[in-house]
Structure 1
Amino acid sequence: MMSDPQHRPTRRHLLGGGIAALAALPVASALGAPALADPVRPAAASLIDLGPALASVNVRSVAFGQLQDGRSVAYALSNGDPATLSVLDVLTGERIFGTEIPGAELGGFVTPGPDGLIYFTCRSPMKGGLFSLDPVSFEVTLIAEGISGQSVLYDGSFGPDGRLYMGTYPNARVLAYDPATGEIEDYGTQTEDAAYVFGLGVVDGEVWVGTGPVPHLFRIDIASGERTEMQPPAHVMEGTDWFTGIAQRGDLVFVRLSPRGTYDMAVYDQLTETWLEEIVEGTFDTAPTAVARLNRVYYLQGDVLMGYDLRMRRTLSVGFEDSALREELSEAVGTYGIASSEELPGLSPYTVVGLNTDGVLWTYSTRRKQGSSVIADVLASPAGAHSIGTGPDGAVYMGAYLSSGVIGRIDPETEEIERLRGPKQADTIVAHGQQLVISSYPGAVAHIGDPSAAWDWSAFDQILMLGRGAPNYQDRIFGVTSVGDRIALGSVPDYGQLGGALTILDPATGDLEFHRDVVPQQSIVTLAHSDGLVYGGTSIHGGLSTTPAQDTAQLFIWDVAAAALVSAEEVVPGAKVIPEIAFGPDGLLWGLAGEGTVFAVDPTTGAVVHRIATGLPFGNNWGLLTSLFSRTSEGCLYAAGGNALLRIDPVAATADVVVDSDVRYAALGGNDRIYLAGEINVYRLEE
């Protein structure tokens, strides 16, 4: 397909201890623990480059419009390294223009402006970049980044004054950009108890602002800046922690809520100034279309296109749930942008168009109850591994961060990387007997399936969803280990929450034990099992937008049969996270501490027998970007951390650097070869 040259953005404006193994056994105190061993020594190693871990389309933001020549188009931001922007013909899927966004891996919002330009945001590692696209010349301009010290810009909406209003993280600010003057007005932090202004919309000339994870809904007078907090009724606020989207359509305002289990949508009537009693359940994170024929808007309820009658104030079916198109799109992670034929004159009347995360562009006739799809030529981009693990088949699997639903697999025989369907974000991948367990975000979900069969992600069974919000308040599972026929899972709580959980699950029956705050106010990020005891490492950090209440991470022991905590103690003074633990070939329990110590504990006595200083930071707040595993054939362990690969000799109590850069994760394949996931590419250690 044809595409214009990939223009690069031009800069225009920049703003600026010890632990007891059993209650009856002796405990080695911190005073009695060994002194730190000698630090790591560098070593040389050769690597074989296997190529990018994953390369895919991952559309997260979409807006629709028309070019000067009359073509109806979609403006699509796709996540990757770097993120990309594509302009697509909605009738054919042809890419008319595409460009990479250097310095950004994640797209934000995209919206047409009244001046004819298209405005969009990107981030990570850049701080909240605001861009414009000229749809005539296809020039991309970086307008500003890091405005008022903000990392993320959310939900841009133009007001009647022609200014672009945006919410922010981490200080829950509201900003207004004036394209005519280039000036940016900062309306300040909206509330001190929430870090996000996530939902924002312009309603009858006012800016409505929704926060999270502590929910507030404000109305801001554009001229005066005066802010008034709205007080939605109990049936709207019950279970609501976030206001995630605000869109006025006619006399109604559609307000999307989270988590409420599956994301819901409340409706506010501007004429009567009341909230309707009906809560529209299970809506996806996509705004309703503009008002279409028959005084309707269209929205997504899960993966089903639905209609809403603005006059009758009620939902209605458009037949999508029974269509062949729904079945065709069944494996898609989601659709982040839809539009009606009233917005896009090139479409037939009574038609809705959508663009899925994986680049599938679909159209559906609400009159004929039929649809079709094409694969749009979205500019793809490579992505690094977010997680890594070895399956029972010996293959190494890699999860992706907020993907379009992909998993990578390294074939142990050919070492080719396969791209497979999977969850949006695989956080942990482990073998359980002959099955593969994959945990995913959001909502602390786990699936299980047989990787030896022809790969079919839809055949994997969802065996757990702890869920955001009440009653469990869990969001991410990073620690997973087999406990006989059962599985132990350690989790990080929801946004704004402290206190992770240990869940013991029988995947055959679904029976589970849920134990929150095993270590009070700490998350559980790594697990190991031996002889009926589950060992776990914690992080003092909870969900995003929380302040730790404890000072030091702990290593705990849980008696599975008794369903009781045996002990929980500090093993490395000052460590904020214990990101990895694993049993070594010497029978000791080895682990990594976040501040850079490799340690070993004797499980029979509870004594800390080794502490090795590495000078390398291990893991982030939750212990990501680390790995630890035993290599029996060599009688040693390997650890990934601090962007390096270390070889741990348990006899000599040394940790030597084998690879000193571009190491995010590591795993031992069934072929006894070591694979490394770098920022983008995957390597095999040559020996």
Structure 2
Amino acid sequence: MRRKKGKFLFAVLFSVLLLVPYLSLESKSASAEEFTFPEYGPAKDLITPLNGSPTIYDGAVGQEDGHDVLYTTSKGVPATFNVVDLDENKLLRSIPLEGASDSWHHEVAPDGTVYVAAGKHIWGYSPETKTIEALAEIPDSSLWALAVDENSNAYIGTFKGGKVFQYNKETKQLRDYGKMIGDIEQEYVRSMDYHDGYIYAGTAHDKIFKLNVETGEKVEIAEELNESGFVYDLDIVDGRYVFARYSASKNMYIYDTLEEKWLDVKLTNVNGLHVTDSLDNKVYFIADGIVKYVDLTNLQVSETSMKYGSGFRGSDWVEIEGDSRLPGKSLVTVTFSGGTVFFNIETEKVVSYPSVIPPTANVTNQIHAFSEDKIYISGMTGGTGAVYNPLTGENKSISLGQADSIYSMDNKVYFGTYPSSSVHVIDPSVDPYAKPTTLFTIGNEQDRLHAMTGGDGKLFIGSIATYQRLGGALTVYDGETHKVFRNIVENQSINGLAYKDGLVYGSTTIKGGLGSVPTAEQAKLFTWDPITEQKINEKNLEIEGLDKPIHIGDLSAGPNDDYIWGGSTGYVFALNPDTLEVEKSVRVEEKPYPFEWDQIDLKWSEDGLLYALVGVKLYVINPDTLDFKFVTKAVSFDLGKDGNIYFSKYDNRTIMAKIEVMEADASDDLQSVQLEMEKTNLTRGQTSNLKVTGILKNSEKIDLTNYTVISSNEEALKVKNDQVIAYRSGESTVQAEVDWKGKKVLSNEVVVKVDLTLDSFEAYVEKLYNEKKVPKKLYIKLSVHMRLAKHFDAKGYEKLVQHQLEKMKKQVERWDAGDHQWAKDALLTDINGLNE
């Protein structure tokens, strides 16, 4: 895109005569008046780049049709539950877990039920029916630990609440035991197991709790260990011994539940992630890359000749038929990429089988356009990255962990990976698809490398502290050695970095690692001198309307001005680099998506426009006028060397999409909008997904994301996100409105009918009661009449049904509703509707 230049002969002559700088101001003003944003083509799905192999966190072994089988879940959108026949190394079935993206724990209950903690739900798989269902939604952010008892009830450990829940198999109800620690905003129950009426729960704050599942009473048992950090693994062996491993120290301890004491043994440098019951009183584990064991009769530690560089992602004893390499019992586990590995105790041989689990696309984390033919892509908690060629569409997988930052300098590509806080490099001129070379590990209690920038041959890295810790770091790498400078701003982590004229500019977040407790009130801006290795300025971000922001996001030096640009909490701003004062700012987003450390990512186009990903919304901004325009929803993005936008889709991060950037008026226009509804007949409380499709003049169909959906009867039907929700009986006409190039384009109309049923009315009454809108006495009476009405309805006794409805109507009419008159009116409306 080229900007039009005005003709200002008189202004130019006057400026030259008086004061030369006015020339640039006049030209800037004129170009701003005539400025037009580029046109943006429809989003086109390109590829699922991270689909080379499955990503597996855990597995469990059970019996199915007389065979030993492995149950495991592969990461994806959605996650996929898999059943593998271990005797034949054959995939028996794969079942999608809609709404879940991964699973960290599987357990096989005594009755054969396979419990899976995935997404927001506890799932149950039946080896008899070969089906899996979501049993209950767990009211917390994420699920991390799982255990079962002798009655086949399940127990779930969570984050952020740090709670334990019980799922009762008979009643299908949840019991919330509450927070295990209780005095921290963010808590984990990261590991746990069950024994003899007690849950043993490992937390992220060094504590292990013994929880009585009947009374809910709990006691902390690990204080004497003097450990810190995550109790990452915890298993009960032989129905007596608790094996607990701390991830920071890699020490594993043994607690005797019978004697109620920790045994006098410490297993060191243990990889995890599980141990299982003993064989001949020996419990096997992996430490120092070797399979070792502890003899429970004398607590002596010995090692086998078996070597293994990873950990046990679930481990169980099996006897494999038809493989002479595996006589007797073998210990089996699953690998990160889905293969199975057997450790035979008799022969001390390690036998690996390739994965038979179908590859599932991992979600995209970072996208980095290195050159015209190479875009580097990293994933989330996976071991595979990708290199995509925009010219040919070719995609190649590479070995790469979760890179939270990718940066190019001196024709090399640098990756900052989590959770090791390591920096790696690829030299594309040698081999663009090589496994990245590890340069160094930052350490110093750093975890997530959020920011990278470069200048004068040095790489600057900004990082977030590790779990429970405050105090990020600035790391400087000169090509040979690195230095770590912690707490540039005391007890704050670094979110953004920019380099300009020999100085490093930084932004912070008051938050540290997950589970930490911030001590500062607001984030800071700072300037750091690489020569003196000192901070030379620190300042609050001062923008009218923005009060003490806890995060300041990405920073970037303006290519065509003297400013340092940044973003925070929906604002984009320009800083004076000398004073760190805000010269100008604009609020582009009222309520940005609340990421843990605030997400604002800034990129500059070749024609000088600023692209800002604020939360999950991508905007383009004219840096001269601060005019802005919404482009699309995304989670990560970069501008390709071809000028187009490459991004991970907000609604499915496994897909990388592309938006073509064109000069104004160069794209095809929108001819019509089509609204499709999943269901058009609903009952109260039900939802229906909707889809809005644009049809261009060239007949091409595109998925639209920037639209408004209108319901003509919001009392009956309301719109929320990409769904309609039925609230009460009636009809509503639904229509989508699209803003296309400043014009409003309306879709077809879809009529949705909300029917009233006895079941939906009963659910509504219960909802009002639970919300304390209906008194208990009325609720009980209505419930009795409702049960009778449903009974008579099932028998076909219509008059008896109407009789019960009349009784309910009289009960409601006698109710003095006071402030809840609206609820009374709604109930009477529904009863009359049911009686029609």
> What TM-score, normalized by structure 1, do the two folds share?
0.82
The percentage of aligned residue pairs carrying the same residue is: 25
Select 1:370's aligned residue among 345, 349, 352. 349
Equivalent residues of 2:68, 2:318 under 8 A apart: no
Distance 1:457 1:350 in 2: 39
- Given residue 210 of structure 1, which amino acid in structure 2 is its aligned partner? G
Residue number among 512, 523, 534 corresponding to 2:504 in the alignment: 534
Aligned partner letter, 1:93: N
Aligned-partner Cα distance in 2 for 1:184–1:564: 55
Aligned residue pairs total: 615
The equivalences for 1:95-114 within 5 A come to: 95-114=91-110
Change (3 A) 1:282 1:159: same
In the TM superposition, residue 51 of structure 1 has moved relative to its aligned partner by 1.6
Q: Which residue of 2 aligns with 1:421?
A: 399
1:508-535 alpha-carbon deviations (Å, 9 max, x no partner): 13x413222x223322111111232111
Q: Does 1:646 align with 2:636?
A: no
Q: Which residue of the other structure, out of 327, 336, 339, is the alignment partner of 1:357?
A: 336
1:390 partnered with 2:369: yes
1:177–1:681: structure 2 CA closer, same or farther, 3 Å change rule?
Answer: closer
2:473 paired residue number: 501
In structure 2, the CA distance between the partners of 1:623 and 1:189, relative to structure 1 (3 Å rule), is: closer
Equivalent in 240, 244, 254 of residue 255 of structure 1: 244
Quick check: 1:311 aligned with 2:297? yes
Matched residue type, 2:398: L
Name the counterpart of 1:245. Answer: 233
Aligned equivalent of 1:337:
314
Q: For the residues of structure 2 that align with 1:48 and 1:169, how far apart are their CA atoms?
A: 36
Q: Which of residues 442, 463, 468 is equivalent to 1:491? A: 463
Distance 1:580 1:443 in 2: 22
User: Alpha-carbon deviation of 1:429?
Assistant: 0.9
Contact 1:232–1:275, Cα closer than 8 Å, also in 2: no
Write the distance in 1 (CA, Å) between the matches of 2:69 and 2:604. Answer: 53
Aligned residue in 2 for 1:674: 645
Shift of 1:122: 0.9
Give 1:73 deviation, angstroms.
0.6
19, 28, 40: which one pairs with 1:45? 40
> Retained in 1: the 8 A contact 2:207–2:223?
no
Matched, 1:569 2:539: yes
Name the SS for the 1:454 alignment partner: coil
Question: Per-residue CA shift, 1:364-423, capped at 9, x if unaligned?
Answer: 3233333332322224432331122234786221211111x0112222542322221111
Equivalences for residues 139-154 of structure 1 within 5 A = 139-146=131-138, 149-154=139-144
How far did 1:119 drift? 1.0
2:265, 2:299 within 8 Å by CA — same for their partners in 1? no
Equivalent AA in structure 1 for residue 559 of structure 2:
P
| CA deviation string 1:446-495 (max 9, x = no partner) | 222323333566551241231xxxxx332211011224333221111122
Distance in structure 1 (CA, Å) of the matches to 2:468 and 2:198? 28
State how far apart, in whole Å, the 2-side matches of 1:380 and 1:625 are: 30
Query: Secondary structure at 1:105's aligned position in 2?
Result: coil
Indicate the larger mover: 546-555 or 310-319. 546-555
Q: Is the 8 A contact 1:412 1:670 kept in 2?
A: no
Match of 2:56 among 56, 59, 70: 59
Unaligned regions of 5+ residues in structure 2, if any? Answer: 1-31, 663-836
Deviation at 1:135, TM superposition (A): 0.9
1:177 Cα deviation from its structure 2 partner:
2.3
Query: Is the CA contact 2:190–2:231 (under 8 Å) kept in the aligned structure 1?
Result: yes
Q: Secondary structure at the match of 1:382?
A: coil
Structure 1 unpaired stretches of 5+: 1-36, 467-471
State the 1:611 CA deviation.
Answer: 1.0
Q: Displacement, 1:275?
A: 2.9
**2:429 aligned residue:** 452
Distance 1:408 1:185 in 2: 43
Any idea what SS the aligned residue of 2:267 has?
A: coil
Please identify the structure whose Cα radius of gyration is greater.
Answer: 2
Classify 1:449/1:526 alpha carbon distance in 2 versus 1 (closer, same or farther; 3 Å): same
Task: Indicate if the aligned counterparts of 2:522 and 2:550 stay in contact, CA closer than 8 A.
Answer: yes
**Cα distance in 1, alignment partners of residues 143 and 355 from structure 2:** 27
Match of 2:809 in 1: none
Compared with structure 1, are the counterparts of its residues 303 and 430 closer, same or farther at alpha carbon in structure 2 (3 Å cutoff)? farther
Q: 1:627 aligns with which of 601, 617, 625?
A: 601
Alignment partners' CA distance in 2, 1:223 and 1:295: 31
The answer as to whether partners of 2:470 and 2:518 remain within 8 angstroms in 1 is yes
C-alpha contact (below 8 Å) 2:511/2:597 kept by paired residues: no
Higher-RCO chain (CA-CA 8 Å, sequence separation at least 6): 1
- Per-residue CA deviations over 1:179-225 (Å, capped at 9, x if unaligned) read 1332333333222235122221224543222222x222222334433
Higher helix share: 2
The change in CA–CA distance for 1:504 and 1:401 in structure 2 (over 3 A counts) is: same
Contact 1:616 1:641 (8 Å CA) reproduced? no
Q: Distance in 1 between matches of 2:61 and 2:301?
A: 24
Indicate conservation of the 8 Å contact 2:372/2:640, yes or no. Answer: no
3-state secondary structure, aligned to 1:381: coil
- Which one of 272, 275, 278 corresponds to residue 288 of structure 1? 275
Q: Which residue identity is paired with 2:636?
A: Y
- Tell me the CA shift for residue 624 of structure 1: 5.9
1:58 maps to a residue whose letter is T
Paired position in structure 2 for 1:559? 529
Asked if structure 2 preserves the Cα contact closer than 8 Å seen for 1:626 and 1:665, the reply is no
Deviates more, 1:344-353 or 1:562-571: 344-353
Q: Once the two structures are superposed, what CA deviation does each residue of 1:58-78 show, in whole Å capped at 9, x if it has no partner?
A: 1112000111x2111100012
Partners of 1:530 and 1:394 lie apart in 2 by 28
User: Which letter does structure 1 place at the counterpart of 2:611?
Assistant: Y
CA distance in structure 2 between the partners assigned to 1:454 and 1:495 by the alignment:
35
Counterpart in the other structure of 1:175? 165
Partner AA of 1:384 in structure 2:
V
Deviation at 1:97, TM superposition (A): 1.4
Task: Confirm or deny: 8 A CA contact 2:509 2:551 kept in the other structure.
Answer: yes
| Amino acid in the other structure paired with 2:393 | E
Judge conservation of contact 1:207–1:220 (CA < 8 Å) in 2: yes
Mean Cα deviation higher: 393-402 or 100-109: 393-402
Say whether the 8 Å CA contact 2:197–2:214 is kept in structure 1: no
Question: How many Å separate the matches in 1 of 2:135 and 2:322?
Answer: 31
SS in 2 for 1:320: strand
User: Partner residue of 2:797?
Assistant: none
Q: Label 1:599 to 1:204 Cα distance change in 2 as closer, same or farther (>3 A).
A: same
Post-superposition offset of 1:629: 1.9
Pair 1:197-2:189 in alignment: yes
8 Å CA contact 1:335–1:357 kept in 2: the answer is: no
Equivalent residue of 1:290, what SS? coil
Match of residue 264 from structure 1:
251
How far did residue 559 of structure 1 move? 1.0
**CA distance 1:342–1:360, shift in 2 (3 Å):** closer
SS at match of 2:283: strand
Check whether the contact 1:203–1:247 (CA below 8 A) recurs between aligned residues: no
**Retained in 2: the 8 A contact 1:61–1:78?**
no
Contact 1:576–1:621 (CA under 8 A) maintained in structure 2: no
C-alpha distance in 2 between matches for 1:231 and 1:151: 26
Report what 2:208 is aligned to.
217
In the TM superposition, what whole-angstrom CA distance separates every residue of 1:570-614 from its partner, at most 9, and x where no partner exists? 333333322211122213344342322221123256453321221
